[in-house]
Chain A
Amino acid sequence: MSILTYIFGLPLAAAVVLALVPRNFRVIMRLVAILATLASAVLAIIMFAKFQTHFAGYQFEQQVEWVKAVGISYHVGADGINVGLILMGAIVAFAAACCSWEIKEREKEFYILLLVMSGGIIGAFASLDLFLFYFFHELALVPTFIMIGLWGRGERRNYAAFQITIYLSVGALIALIGLIALYLQSGAHTFDIPALTDYIAKNPLPANVQQFIFPLLLFGFGILVSLWPFHSWAPIGYGSAPTPTAMLHAGVIKKFGLYGLIRIALPMMPHAAQSWMQIIAWLALGNLIYCGWVAMRQKDFNWLVGYSSVAHMGFIFLGIATLSLIGVTGAVLVMVAHGFLAALTFALSGYIHEQTGTLEMRKLGGLLFKLPFIGAALIMAAFAGCGLPGFANFAGEITVFFGAWNEFRIVTILACWGAMVIGAVYMLRAIRTMLHAELPEKWANIMDAPHIWRKLPFVLLLTALLVFGCLPRLLTDKIKPSAWNIVQLANPIVAKNADLKTAQANAADAAIKQEIQNIPAGSQSDTAIRETAVKEQQ
């Protein structure tokens, strides 16, 4: 059995076990949830360490036939696109389980839902079968609604649960229509993603079919990722969600739509993808600039973080829109980085909420006195959020900018403004109001994270951000070959040019070596390569 099966199977199995545990065994329930997610996270780290870089195919594959008649099989595997996501998902799931202290009632149901959510979403990332891919996502999505409705906070939680349910269900439904249409139109009679991709690469879908399906997937998945202007579910949803739910949803589940776009929409519908890219780039700007501005005006910290997390999706959409090796690699890098960051920020805001009972920034202040650890972690999270080097977000964002610069000049300039200035404005204002200045007397009794177990989730997430921020090649070397495959399918012209530049820069890369041999005579010198590139462009 593939290690991937264990990674997402363990939380799901633990959910079943929990269902059998009597309701008043609180410590045991908590222990089971934490141990299951911990085991899954450790396995994910092992898997990540064993993953072979510079290898474009799937690793840790496992395929078991299931419903032969329509071509559904149990198929899991990891390549550069999802390996980081699986790792991130498993670590965030563990951190979320650790952060479930604040849940004091109906713990049994809560932990079961949390485990289902964790297992479901990692399963969705690991699946290489369209049916399972979608099924696992729904499995993870539905608990979100229940958790917000039952354990949510604030007076508006029912409204929030209602809104997020309708919104995301509609999004998922639209995406489902697109996926079914894709299955039917391809004529391959298989739900297997690699097989489907190969089949479509050889027998491309007609342009009009692509133009019909692609928007369904784009906006269906887009709604799930809070693509502008379909973002208004996110801030209110996260503002009302219990901490672990917000961590898992904003960190991990939200990346599903993006993953779907990269894995399915781009390589299978290249023609439509190319024609939509200009629009996606401008919509991404809606996320980056517009949602950044809205974040500047928020009075509640969770809403601010919600809008900021929506804004960060803009980097990923922009990276995808380039359809280039650099851009797509950067997008995947931001997906992983943002997962850690969003989870960290919501965990911290949840801690502060637990202590003070409010996240209204005007009422807070000077918290750094009382919360040196949590405050320092929050400052680091804020800096990661405004793209400070050393954190993984910077590496991803800068890669996206370099990828997008030649394709979308104006969008990139404005996106830089969003990243460099707007993000810094709202983050620093929040720190200034919440952590700095005098401590109001009513908060004199709040407590910092008392022991290592309470600190663990924060330390873990911060470490992940720092490790990938300082050594981004841990991820990019894995992402690159797979992103390269997708870019080649999605955008053969750009791919060729990018490849030529790549050939100059790094001939050692295996995926690229082959391409150099394909270049016609004259590939001896750099100038010759460039000339060929220019000619081909013309």
Chain B
Amino acid sequence: MKLEVLPWIILFLPLLSAAVITLFTQRDKKLSAGISVFAVVVSFILTVIFVSAVGWEPAKRELALNWLDIGAFHVDFGLHFDPLSLAMMLIVTGVASLIHIYSIGYMNGDRGFSRFFACLSLFTFSMLGIVLANNFLQLFIFWELVGISSYLLVGFWYEKPSAADAAKKAFLTNRMGDFGFILGILTIWATLGSLNFGALQEKLVSDPHALGTVATIAGLLVFCGAVGKSAQFPLHVWLPDAMEGPTPVSALIHAATMVAAGVYMLCRILFLLNAPALEVISYIGGFTALLAALIAIQQNDIKRILAYSTLSQLGYMVMAVGLGGPTPAMFHLTTHAFFKALLFLGSGSVILATHHEQDIWKMGALRKKTPVTFWTFMIATLALCGMWPFSGFYSKDSILGLAMERHNHILLGVGLFVAILTAFYMFRLVFVVFYGSTKSDHAEHAHESPAVMLWPLRILAILSLIAGFIGVEGIFTRQFPAENAEAAAGFSQYLFAPFIHAPWAASAGLVALAIGFFAAFALYAKADKDPLVEKLGPLSRAMRNRFYFDELYEATFIRLHDTLAAIANWFDRWIIEGACIGFLRGGTDLTGRALRLFQTGNLQTYAFLFALGVAALLFWILGK
């Protein structure tokens, strides 16, 4: 078999699985799960084989078929291979495999078990499509498809009104971002005449000013897509609501992969972004990181805390891209995929253990009852907070180091402050859930999850621990050569690299972690209710209410749009229908009435009209 067939199989196997489950095996739950897991695991194995066979930088970079070709509008369906896409493929298929396996345990006994796996497979396919896309329109197509998978999975328990609403909100908010995205694609196509990433890059390398005056606006319009999908401010409101979906979905789609697609896309099209656009991007990322971290410290739902944490970490990544550092961004994306997926899966295990309780203030002292969940959760927390030598330390440090290198002290300050907040809200969560006293009956009778759920946790825990120093960064520097390239070689060098490269950033990060940890320890180690609610007063209420962004949008944008619709509806009913129908009907009616006037039945009138007609006729003929 030729090696070139492999990527097609990797991409289409999950789609095939989704189709087979939907059409044939809905009834047989075990078989459906088996097909889905088989498809994604095989995809993962084939990806490993493919990468080891062709290396990180394959000689043949693209495989393409023509999808649409009308004059200047030429779209391929292509696969693009470079370190960026290959690494992302490994992450997506790898994490997806683990989460598929975990789901067998978590979704056990659910009415829509088969449907769940069909949707997961559809998602895996769509996500791989984004990763492999070689042109803008294909990227957009799969961009929409992950959106739809997300819609179907967030609204998986559609009988719950909150879930149905959350699904709708997620899709519509994303659509607003995609509106900008498609305009950006149109602008770039109209200016540069191509949609293919390779061709576009060539054009811009040979003539950096090829985009001319639209360069900034085009870059920012494309960024709109990332703002929607990666839930950056001001379109961040959908992600926390999306937690209505089953927890494995939150782990896979709303933490590890799909929401990171925005960051991936920005790295893919980095060559299009000019300095002003990058600056805007970096500040939006920084602001999102800060905003979300602030909201996270006063949330009480275990999944929502993690959701805001995801927002905040995505903000870090977007900020890194904006600072011109795709490598740190992708590095953090990778480590984040591991530890955040682990956190969500761990929270799922906790939720299952406490009989679907999500309020952290009704848990407590789960450390002893769910030991594996606790230890793996702890590892992920340490990784997220940036403890050496956990993976998050290295990736977060590379972002902070980047901010320092760029002398952007505002964003460096934001980054450090967010690091403090991160440690604070995460240890708040850990203390309240796993330590202290049990706060409800469910927590009293908690039990550890089955093995099928625990093994994915263990594997992800190992990855969260080691991903920082096994050379992940090196994969991305192949694609984006660093300015001051001093390649670390060897295990120990990787292990201590941050302290050698940017000792200030590394130690500042650790200090931030310590501050956050001790603050959380002081406040929450033995707390039964949240002391900050009283201490912060109105600020705490604002944080709990997400700074009222939903209410703001409801009152302004949504209301405006609905009002316009109401006006249009009124106009349609009373003016257009009235006028057009009234005109036709009235016209017919009036003619009828007018004609009736002549039909009087009076002989004199007829004679008079007849004479009048004759006179008119004579006048017309003779008058000429």
Contacts and interface: CB of A to CB of B under 8 A. Distances in A.
Interface string B53-91: 000000000000011111111100000000000000000
A163 B161 CA distance: 39
A212 interface: no
Contact of A325 (B70, B178, B572): B70
B182 A420 contact: yes
Contacts of A421: 172, 175-176, 179
B176 A435 contact: no
A402 B70 CA distance: 10
A403 B584 contact: no
Contact of A405 (B74, B190, B562): B190
Interface stretch (A11-19, A347-355, A411-419, A516-524): A411-419
B569 interface: yes
A294 B572 contact: yes
B198 to A, nearest CB: 16
Nearest to B588: A166
B569 A388 contact: no
Contacts of A293: 564-565, 567-569
Given A399-B70, A406-B190, A230 B182 contact: no
A26 interface: no
Interface stretch (A100-108, A177-185, A423-431): A423-431
A318 B179 CA distance: 18
B145 A473 contact: no
A424 B68 contact: no
A62 to B, nearest CB: 30
B468 to A, nearest CB: 37
Given A163-B581, A167-B584, A421-B179, A297 B569 contact: yes
Interface string A362-380: 0000101100000000000
Nearest to B151: A428
B241 interface: no
A229 B580 contact: yes
Interface in A156-174: 163, 166-167, 170
A505 B562 contact: no
Nearest to B579: A229
Interface stretch (B163-171, B331-339, B408-416, B479-487): B163-171
Contact of A232 (B172, B176, B581): B581
B73 A416 contact: no
A412 B186 contact: yes
A390 B159 contact: no
B186 A402 contact: yes
A190 interface: no
B323 to A, nearest CB: 30
A366 B74 contact: no
B71 A405 contact: no
The CB with the most chain A CB atoms within 10 A, among B70, B74, B175, B564, is that of B70
A296 B562 contact: yes
Interface in A390-410: 390, 394-395, 398-399, 401-403, 405-406
Contact of A294 (B172, B565, B585): B565
Nearest to A499: B71
Contact of B159 (A229, A297, A366, A395): A366
B42 interface: no
A366 B182 CA distance: 34
Nearest to B570: A297
Interface residues on A, range: 35 or more
- Centre residue among A406, A436, A502 by max chain B CB count within 10 A: A436
A105 B171 CA distance: 44
A238 to B, nearest CB: 14
A96 B465 CA distance: 61
Contacts of A416: 179, 182-183, 186
Nearest to B558: A425
A437 B161 contact: yes
Contacts of A109: none
A437 B585 CA distance: 44
Contacts of A402: 73, 186, 189
Contact of A506 (B69, B145, B148): B69
Contacts of A437: 158-161, 164
| Number of chain B interface residues as a range | 35 or more
Contacts of A389: 140-142, 144-145
B82 to A, nearest CB: 24
A476 B69 contact: yes
B577 interface: yes
A309 to B, nearest CB: 15
Nearest to A530: B193
Given A297-B565, A436-B158, A498-B71, A417 B179 contact: yes
Nearest to A477: B69
A325 B68 CA distance: 13
B566 A297 contact: yes
B137 interface: yes
A95 B339 CA distance: 51
A341 B182 CA distance: 23
Nearest to A289: B568
A60 interface: no
Given A421-B175, A501-B193, A435 B72 contact: no
A420 B567 CA distance: 21
B68 A399 contact: yes
A421 B144 CA distance: 13
Contacts of A399: 68, 70, 73
Contacts of B74: 505-506
B224 to A, nearest CB: 11
B579 to A, nearest CB: 8
A166 B585 contact: yes
> Most chain-A CB neighbours within 10 Å: which of B68, B183, B581?
B68
A454 interface: no
B576 interface: yes
A425 B172 CA distance: 7
B6 to A, nearest CB: 22
B392 interface: no
A146 to B, nearest CB: 20
Interface of A: 163, 166-167, 170, 229-232, 290-291, 293-294, 296-297, 324-326, 329-330, 366, 368-369, 383, 388-390, 394-395, 398-399, 401-403, 405-406, 412-413, 416-417, 420-421, 424-425, 428-429, 431-432, 435-439, 472-473, 476-477, 480, 498-499, 501-502, 504-506
Given A232-B581, A366-B159, A395-B68, 6 more contacts: A296-B565, A389-B145, A436-B161, A437-B160, A473-B67, A505-B69
**What are the 6 closest A-B residue pairs judged by CB atoms, nearest first?**
A501-B72, A436-B164, A293-B568, A389-B141, A297-B569, A293-B565
25 contacts: A231-B576, A232-B577, A296-B569, A297-B566, A326-B70, A388-B144, A389-B142, A389-B144, A389-B145, A394-B141, A399-B73, A401-B182, A401-B186, A402-B189, A406-B190, A420-B178, A421-B175, A424-B172, A424-B175, A425-B172, A436-B161, A473-B68, A476-B70, A501-B72, A506-B71
